[in-house]
């Protein structure tokens, strides 16, 4: 047998012949839909794609992957610079959080990907592994060292990453996810890192090695982009297997309910091509619908807080009050400078990342920032102080103390959920933000960046009360919605350390919902880890078991 090199494999996966084989195979499988599969994976987003592909790698195992969104075969997805154009369009669920009194009554947009690949098909392509403190915290919460930093570092290095940058003990090659350092750093990006160093943030060789063990620092970003094209997690994991007869991928397939026999999940109901269909899972059902839809489906299927379920006439399958609680996310805020005549990077994707902390007792950063040549602001703040035509922004993210919640408005799949993002509910968040923003301003105003700047626009030297208004009017999401079906051992935990839903057999959750708290940095890479852990757990527990052997 001849082994294909990576570039051969890429060329093969995108060849017209392979594309036709995939189309024909998937049409055949969809036409010949079965009443049961070994595994039914709900959601072909970041974590769901990893899990489905790892399970289907065994040709004996029959996998059905159900995705409510449509194809990713679009320049909007494939060109990573068009991510901004996906927001609010048909690749986005278009969620909106409830009006928040702490944000002066604003109801902020709360985008999530609705397409093969989920968030990984519309995001900014930054690859951020999560800090060692995050993973060690998860291991402690779960009571399982398999979630700890050492184990996860091993996974990244030996299974997940195909690192195209300078080799190091921290990075691995040959994995499924192509990761490159920022291509052709622009002089602005180089100046920005000099600026970061000038305000005391040490420089690291890349975003995901030693920096993820440090208290603060800066580096060029890592990204899942190759030759200018997005490498979504769906394309990296699932697409290469889609000509196999054991992997059925249905798009526009909206999962509406989990089916049970006693305390066992036996399958799901889903809407597809105008029909409501039922499908059985002989081994397990896995929910990978993301941190908003996973708790929604659990609750509408009878798993959640009994009082809330009763109020909508939903029969209780399993009382788990933590479902939908604990919503965690990074808040984002834009600091804006008027640009000089010096050229700026044209791509709306940062080439740099800086992490810092606002509290000496912390062992990991609670702030980070990316940079882009766009005005990152809200309509309210733009109306207050209009940004000039030519600007650049620091897009600052903070891990807040406040937690939100996802609640039902009804028992039907078409009933929207109430998203209470709850930003700034805890007063400590505003205090930290005021401090953290000062570090961003120091960076933006630092000497190495002066030649790119005419003046600081947002927030500038506002009075303390105006600064507060500016934050209340300016906070938005960094799109890292997580933690609504958290893994752990307390009364609000929804899944155990093996991602099994408490009290129910044959049902797991594998997506950002299970994180006990949001990571330091972005959440795509951690969701790949979740998908890999879920696959390893299922393979350990069920081995090569298939429908014919159960
Ligand atoms: C605009 C934006 C920019 C971002 N930028 C970055 C970045 O640069 N780097 C980074 O690391 N992270 C980024 N993120 C976050 C990251 O993409 C997400 O955290 C990650 O994709 C979450 O993975 P998941 O598996 O939990 O869910 P998702 O990837 O959201 O997948 C869930 C999938 O389930 C599907 N689904 C939902 N409900 C149903 C249903 N009822 N039936 C069937 N299917 C359903 C969805 O359509 C979706 O495909 C960004 C996110 C957004 C939205």
The percent of residues in the chain predicted with pLDDT above 90, rounded, is: 94
Q: What is the CATH code of the structural domain delimited by 25-76+232-326+483-542?
A: 3.50.50.60
- Which ligand 1 atom is the nearest neighbour of the CA of 413? 41
Overall average pLDDT of the 126-132 stretch: 98
Q: Yes or no: say if 59 and 38 are a contact pair by the CB < 8 Å rule.
A: no
pLDDT confidence tier of residue 14, bands split at 50, 70 and 90? confident
Tell me, in angstroms, the distance from the centre of ligand 1 to residue 196's CA: 30
Tell me, in angstroms, the distance from the centre of ligand 1 to residue 127's CA: 14
Q: Give per-residue pLDDT as tens, 232-262.
A: 999 999 999 999 999 999 999 999 999 999 9
CA–CA separation, 520 and 32 (whole Å): 44
Give the alpha-carbon dihedral of 406, 411, 412, 416, to 10 degrees.
-30
Neighbouring C-alpha atoms within 13 Å toward the C-beta of 482: 28
Q: Which of 73, 69, 52, 50 is nearest to 61 (CA)?
A: 52
Overall average pLDDT of the 357-385 stretch: 94
Please tell me the predicted confidence (pLDDT) of residue 545: 55
Find all residues with CB under 8 Å of 281, minimum gap 6, and list them. Answer: 36, 37, 38, 39, 40, 64, 265, 266, 267, 268, 506
Q: Yes or no: say if 63 and 248 are a contact pair by the CB < 8 Å rule.
A: yes
Ligand 1 site residues (CB inside 6 A) read: 42-48, 66-69, 111-114, 118-120, 122-126, 128, 254-255, 288-290, 293, 297, 479-480, 511-512, 522-525, 527
Please tell me the predicted confidence (pLDDT) of residue 8: 57
Indicate the average pLDDT of the chain.
95
Overall average pLDDT of the 134-154 stretch: 98
Tell the residue nearest (CA) to atom 6 of ligand 1.
Answer: 123
Q: Is the model's pLDDT at 160 over the cut of 60?
A: yes
Please tell me the predicted confidence (pLDDT) of residue 550: 44
Q: Is the model's pLDDT at 354 over the cut of 50?
A: yes
pLDDT confidence tier of residue 462, bands split at 50, 70 and 90? confident
Please tell me the predicted confidence (pLDDT) of residue 543: 85
| Tokens at 225, concatenated | 């982009």
- Which ligand 1 atom is the nearest neighbour of the CA of 69? 47
The DSSP secondary structure of 210-244, one letter per residue, reads: GGGGSSSEEEEPEESEETTEE--HIIIIIGGGTTS
Mutate to test the pocket of ligand 1, among 289, 371, 376, 521 (most ligand atoms within 8 A of CB): 289
Q: Is the model's pLDDT at 544 over the cut of 80?
A: no
H or E element in which residue 291 lies: helix 290-300
Q: Is the model's pLDDT at 496 over the cut of 50?
A: yes
Tell me, in angstroms, the distance from the centre of ligand 1 to residue 113's CA: 5
CB neighbours of residue 1 within 10 Å: 3
Mutate to test the pocket of ligand 1, among 70, 118, 294, 417 (most ligand atoms within 8 A of CB): 118
Site of tokens 């278009």: 94
| Tokens at 117, concatenated | 């690949």
Tell me, in angstroms, the distance from the centre of ligand 1 to residue 128's CA: 15
Candidate from 1-10, 113-122, 434-443 with smallest mean pLDDT: 1-10
- Which ligand 1 atom is the nearest neighbour of the CA of 87? 1
Q: Is the model's pLDDT at 10 over the cut of 80?
A: no
- Which ligand 1 atom is the nearest neighbour of the CA of 531? 25
Overall average pLDDT of the 336-354 stretch: 96
CA–CA separation, 485 and 95 (whole Å): 19
Tell me, in angstroms, the distance from the centre of ligand 1 to residue 373's CA: 25
Candidate from 1-5, 416-420, 509-513, 515-519 with smallest mean pLDDT: 1-5
Q: Give per-residue pLDDT as tens, 22-67.
A: 999 999 999 999 999 999 999 999 999 999 999 999 999 999 999 9
Mutate to test the pocket of ligand 1, among 295, 374, 524 (most ligand atoms within 8 A of CB): 524
Tell the residue nearest (CA) to atom 4 of ligand 1.
Answer: 123
Residues belonging to the active site: 480
pLDDT confidence tier of residue 272, bands split at 50, 70 and 90? very high
pTM of the model: 0.97
Q: Give per-residue pLDDT as tens, 168-222.
A: 999 999 999 999 999 999 999 999 999 999 999 999 999 999 999 999 999 999 9
Find all residues with CB under 8 Å of 480, minimum gap 6, and list them. Answer: 329, 330, 397, 512, 518, 519, 522, 523
Tell me, in angstroms, the distance from the centre of ligand 1 to residue 94's CA: 12
Q: Give per-residue pLDDT as tens, 281-300.
A: 999 999 999 999 999 999 99
Q: Is the model's pLDDT at 542 over the cut of 80?
A: yes
Region class of 24: left (phi > 0), else alpha (psi between -120 and 50), else beta: alpha
Tell the residue nearest (CA) to atom 17 of ligand 1.
Answer: 119
């Amino acid at each position: 047998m001849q082994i294909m090199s990576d570039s051969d494999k890429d060329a093969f996966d995108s060849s017209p012949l392979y594309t036709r084989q995939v189309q024909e195979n998937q049409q055949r499988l969809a036409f010949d839909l079965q009443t049961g599969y070994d595994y039914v994976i709900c959601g072909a987003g970041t974590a769901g794609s990893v899990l489905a592909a790892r399970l289907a790698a065994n040709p004996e195992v029959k996998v059905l992957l159900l995705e409510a969104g449509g194809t990713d075969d679009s320049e909007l997805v494939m060109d990573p610079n068009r991510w901004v154009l996906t927001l609010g369009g048909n690749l986005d669920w278009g969620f909106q959080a409830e009006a928040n009194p702490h944000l002066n009554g604003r109801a902020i947009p709360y985008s999530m990907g609705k397409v093969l690949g989920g968030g990984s098909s519309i995001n900014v392509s930054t690859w951020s592994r999560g800090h060692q403190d995050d993973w060690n915290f998860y291991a402690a919460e779960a009571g399982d060292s398999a979630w700890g930093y050492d184990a996860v570092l091993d996974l990244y290095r030996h299974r997940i990453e195909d690192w195209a940058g300078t080799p190091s003990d921290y990075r691995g090659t040959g994995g499924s996810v192509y990761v490159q350092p920022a291509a052709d750093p622009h002089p602005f990006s180089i100046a920005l890192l000099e600026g970061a160093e000038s305000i005391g943030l040490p420089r690291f060789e890349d975003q995901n090695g030693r920096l993820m063990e440090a208290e603060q620092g800066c580096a060029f970003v890592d990204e899942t982009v190759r030759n200018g094209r997005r490498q979504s997690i769906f394309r990296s994991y699932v697409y290469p297997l889609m000509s196999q007869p054991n992997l059925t991928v249905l798009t526009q397939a909206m999962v509406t309910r989990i089916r049970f026999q006693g305390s066992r999940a036996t399958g799901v109901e889903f809407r597809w091509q105008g029909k409501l269909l039922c499908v059985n899972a002989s081994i397990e059902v896995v929910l990978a619908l993301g941190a908003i839809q996973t708790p929604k489906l659990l609750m509408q299927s009878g798993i959640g807080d009994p009082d809330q379920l009763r109020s909508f006439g939903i029969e209780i399958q399993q009382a788990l009050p933590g479902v939908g609680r604990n919503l965690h996310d990074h808040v984002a805020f834009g600091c804006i400078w008027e640009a000089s005549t010096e050229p700026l990077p044209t791509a709306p994707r940062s080439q740099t990342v800086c992490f810092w902390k606002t509290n000496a007792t912390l062992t990991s950063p609670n702030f980070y920032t990316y940079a882009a040549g766009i005005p990152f602001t809200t309509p309210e703040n733009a109306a207050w102080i209009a940004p000039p035509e030519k600007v650049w922004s620091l897009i600052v993210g903070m891990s807040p103390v406040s937690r939100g919640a996802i609640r039902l408005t009804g028992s039907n799949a078409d009933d929207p959920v109430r998203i209470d993002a709850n930003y700034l509910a805890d007063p400590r968040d505003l205090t930290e933000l005021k401090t953290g923003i000062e570090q961003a301003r120091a960076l933006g105003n630092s000497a190495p960046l002066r030649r790119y700047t005419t003046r600081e626009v947002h927030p500038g030297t506002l009075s303390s009360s105006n600064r507060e208004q500016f934050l209340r009017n300016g906070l938005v999401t960094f799109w890292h919605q997580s933690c609504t079906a958290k893994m752990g051992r307390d009364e609000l935990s929804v899944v155990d350390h093996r991602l099994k839903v408490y009290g129910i057999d044959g049902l797991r959750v594998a997506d950002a919902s299970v994180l006990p708290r949001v990571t330091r940095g972005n959440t795509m890479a951690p969701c790949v880890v979740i998908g890999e852990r879920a696959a390893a757990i299922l393979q350990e527990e069920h081995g090569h078991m298939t429908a014919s052997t159960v």
